[in-house]
Structure 1
């Protein structure tokens, strides 16, 4: 929220004259001592402290931290502005897009980068693929196809509480490859279904009855969503960003969509199968059986009627899109071109209209701040900052005589648990993915293994806390789960997922020849 820098003087409170009793020779009343003017000012301007913190971090790096001799002044200044940008994404002195645009302007005004260098990332195909993906998410919600798919799983598996959790988790995994926003899936499809199921079982938010059903379903779906996002390259925006950063460091992912799916399939499916059961044991619901859930789903499907023409078009377009993503490298069709083709079909056939696209604010917001992050990160690599960080850390690791597997198992958990400091998966990727990948490469970790493992972890730590991702805010904000419970379950499931991906993933990646 924007606040004016010039605060209007406070008007004195109005007083009813009839209530005044005049006492002769009484000295003027001395008002009680107020808190400091600075604290009062901060209270009236809640965004000022985040602004000060964000700017201070960049200023400290630029002027207080000694510049390494091998790094140019221009590169060091770019690093300072980049850290200010990331800090602003964490502390939120402005909305994300507005802050990114302000920092991009600063880069140009200070002659750190030219206008062309600053805006070059806005032609990046990955960013436009992400934007198109948001429009597909709107299509799933608008046509009701996402609700219909989820309701079928509830109908088939929902007789028990545990079966209900599996039905919701599996339906999200089915939708995920063509709805590349975990937050949109959470807020647009699954939380409304969880609300309906819970309230029909007399389980209400912000009430002790939430433990009957609602809290369990929220916990299970929240934790399962991280594996659904990790399963497909196109299931989450941060996946595409990771691949782009990996390519900028020279790590090429052949046949991207297929390679990602093959690498993620076994550990992700194992996590999806284990997660609802573990949540059921750690945070059991009071209601164990839900015979009414399939009935509710059947009634809902009856209300929705037969599959509409727009739903058939949406389904056919989704299948076409996934097929093109799979065969795109063979056919010579870029992923973004496939997405544009699918979007054009939806627009031409009237499933979406242009107003739907214009009103998708998150897509245009993402275009701005992803463009800024990708552009700055690429320029940091070009100007030598990322290689310098990698060489410095790599030298330290080599001095300890660590093998590359040891370095891998130190760097990966470090990257994971640093996420306690971040309120966004994409902000984390923008700040640290390139640096950590460069550290892996400097430690002789195989590039494809390092790049994909970091990317998978980027999805898994999205369920670590109540602020760790967009979907975390959606599910926690529903009011069914308590803060302490979500933090406790977050760390326990993080350990379980790290174990699953570490054991199952490592063996699977060896079979695939990644190392």
Structure 2
């Protein structure tokens, strides 16, 4: 649409504006802009006196005053639409009376040479006279009715958005009520057996409420365990010293120090460097890459006893880097090119690498401590644990990558760029730092003392304390690193509480009473001890679908199931070790079954149905290997 110049003339003899459209290509002569102050005074005079003669006189005087200096007064508005004249007609009707119009014809003496270019308005234009004003935007294609008011209305303020809902404070009501009700029902509505004392029955009810809270999580684990501890003291079920007796337990402090060792591996980058070397050496194919990551897990595990730290601090960053370089992105169809297979392999291998060494996972140490509370003493625990687990665990570690390669195959079979990427990363990391060397020497010393410490009279906890002292003295770790390891202190709190309760349940006779009941039921089916071992191990395994923590599972059920094994005639050390190995194997059956499960699932490479499907299949395969190869190996070692 071609734009037009619209000239608007005002004449005192006309009652409405007149408009003249001038094409763009017309030459407009010079015109001096009209003095709006004088126009305003003239209109005020007209409004005050209301007589036509006054109007003519005022504008006549105005014309005479301008006659000598302004030959003609006019202005032009640039308009994109011929509706301009209509808009001004509405303006006339608003005032209900004829308006004086300045017309070119009122100044016949004006000469063309005295004319000047008209005012071209390129932004919203408003008349200066009051009390009635209007604003006009000549560039708007749609013209709205003119607002006549003494002042523009205040801008409307949009109502503020509603405040976000207040987050729930304190305990979750439903899990809290369920957990409390379980204990109350046992305490007041379930008849107390004759063999059990009132104090023992009351402690059992508090313990069951505590375990229910660990599963349902009305509060964080440590907070809920502390409430259970408080209940035992308030109800005078336990004395203060008895309730807090487990806080001096050596094994629990060994677990805490193990978290600090894991922090050292992450802080120095030693774990990352070891894993990257294995990728460089074995990463030319996808299968070789998976074996390289698995072997590096086995090498790091005994000195880094936190499966979550190994998963999140060492292996997941490497897997993500390799996968992205191969075009395998999380939460996309390309995830199965490489990333999904590597995540599944590392996830399933972590259970067997944790079962291989006593110090590879915190729950292993807790298992042996609870066994000791029941009178089952494992001689030379580190060596005995490793010897019994070595053959079945190594067989599983060798077969897991290959089985998953067939069961859950990657789309990319060869990864020739992986060694180059690993070499580039090692180059960017530079040579081994002083802190890494200190970490290596310290861990070698700690592992050596864990293996041979009994012969020279140094307990495992003391060996860990020596290692941590070296790291603090050398500056590899500072005390803030230890303070910031919140998971270590949280574990200290709730582990000690659960161990203390379990120990008191044993002392008060509850565990023996429960194990006798289960043993009598098993004997009613005429089961041999190997069959009882299989049934109890299967029950212990599949109950973990209800748990979100391996250590929580151990604290809740290990003592009871070990007592059941012994009552069914299973050799004590075999039962204690088998339950400990089983605890590691069920860490990969769901996306919530362990700390590393949450880390690997959170990476986004594996879909939830695949987690459950592959987890169940690999659980069956692990059970066959550990039950077949393991039983023969344990017979050879003389465990039964």
Distance 1:155 1:42 in 2: 48
The CA deviation at 1:436 is: 0.7
Q: Contact conserved, 2:171 with 2:219, CA < 8 A, in 1?
A: no
Map of 1:50-129 to 2, 5 A cutoff?
50-129=175-254
Q: Which has the higher contact order (CA 8 A, sep 6+)?
A: 1
- Matches of 2:185 and 2:406 in 1, distance apart? 48
CA deviations 1:476-502 (Å, max 9, x no partner) are 111111110000000000000000000
What secondary structure sits across from 1:198 in the alignment?
helix
Does residue 453 of the first structure (1) align with residue 578 of the second (2)?
yes
Residue of structure 2 in register with 1:248 after alignment = 373
Specify the alignment match of 1:333 in structure 2.
458
Aligned match of 2:633:
508
Q: Does 1:230 align with 2:393?
A: no
Q: Are 2:280 and 1:155 aligned?
A: yes
Which residue of the partner structure matches residue 285 of structure 1? 410
1:42–1:48 contact (8 Å) kept in structure 2: no
Separation of aligned partners in 2, 1:48 and 1:173: 43
Q: 2:170 touches 2:219 (CA, 8 Å); kept in 1? A: no
Give the structure 2 partner of residue 170 of structure 1.
295
Q: 2:271 aligns with which of 146, 150, 153?
A: 146
Q: Is the Cα–Cα contact under 8 Å of residues 169 and 221 in structure 1 kept in the other structure?
A: yes
Q: Within 5 Å, which residues of 2 pair with 1:55-454?
A: 55-454=180-579
Question: What is the CA distance between 1:400 and its match in structure 2?
Answer: 2.1
Question: What CA distance in whole angstroms lies between the structure 1 residues aligned with 2:173 and 2:266?
Answer: 37
The structure-2 alpha-carbon separation of the partners of 1:196 and 1:42, relative to structure 1 and needing over 3 Å to count, comes to: closer
Instruction: Report the secondary structure of 1:479's partner residue.
Output: coil
Matched with 1:30 is: none
Aligned structure 1 segments of 4 or more residues deviating by more than 6 angstroms: 16-20, 40-46
Paired with 1:17 and 1:50, the residues of 2 have a C-alpha distance of 47
Q: Distance in 1 between matches of 2:236 and 2:440?
A: 49
Corresponding residue pairs, total: 481
> Structure 2: which 5+ residue stretches go unaligned?
1-154, 160-164
Q: What's the CA shift string for 1:191-240, capped at 9, x where partnerless?
A: 11111111111111111111111111111000000001000000000000
Tell me the SS of whatever aligns to 2:531: helix
Between Structure 1 and Structure 2, whose CA radius of gyration is higher?
2
* Offset of residue 153 of structure 1: 0.5
How far the C-alpha of 1:415 sits from its partner, in A, is: 0.8
**2-side partners of 1:180 and 1:389: how far apart?**
32
State whether residues 283 and 289 of structure 2, in contact with CA within 8 Å, keep that contact through their aligned partners in structure 1: yes
User: Comparing 152-161 with 391-400, which one deviates more in the overlay?
Assistant: 391-400
**Structure 1 224/18 Cα, relative in aligned 2: closer, same or farther at 3 Å?**
closer
Tell me the distance in 2 between the aligned counterparts of 1:470 and 1:338. 26
SS in 1 for 2:244: helix
**How far did residue 401 of structure 1 move?**
2.0
Structure 1 residue 43: Cα displacement? 8.4
Contact preservation (8 Å) 1:404, 1:444: yes
Change (3 A) 1:391 1:41: farther
Aligned counterparts of 1:46 and 1:477: Cα–Cα separation in 2 = 26
CA deviation after TM superposition for structure 1 residue 42, in Å: 11
Report the RMSD for the aligned CA atoms in angstroms: 1.7
Structure 1 distance, partners of 2:520, 2:617, is: 34
- Superposition deviation, residue 48 in structure 1: 1.8
- 1:46 to partner: Cα distance: 8.3
Partner Cα distance (1:291, 1:278) in 2: 22
User: Residue 42 of structure 1 contacts residue 49 of structure 1 at CA under 8 Å; is this kept in 2?
Assistant: no
Distance 1:376 1:294 in 2: 52
Specify the alignment match of 1:489 in structure 2.
614
Q: Is the 8 A contact 1:128 1:367 kept in 2?
A: yes
Q: CA deviation at 1:93?
A: 1.3
Counterpart of 2:590 (choices 447, 465, 469) is 465
Distance across 1 between alignment mates of 2:167 and 2:529: 49
193-202 or 335-344, larger mean C-alpha shift: 193-202
**TM-score (ref. length: structure 1):** 0.91
1:281-316 CA deviation, whole Å, 9 max, x = no partner?
111111111111111110111011111111111001
Cα shift at 1:18: 9.1
Q: Give the drift of 1:62.
A: 1.5
Instruction: Report the alpha carbon displacement of residue 64 of structure 1 after superposing the two structures with TM.
Output: 2.1
CA distance in 2, matches of 1:252, 1:399: 30
Structure 1 unaligned segments of length 5 or more: list them.
1-15, 21-39
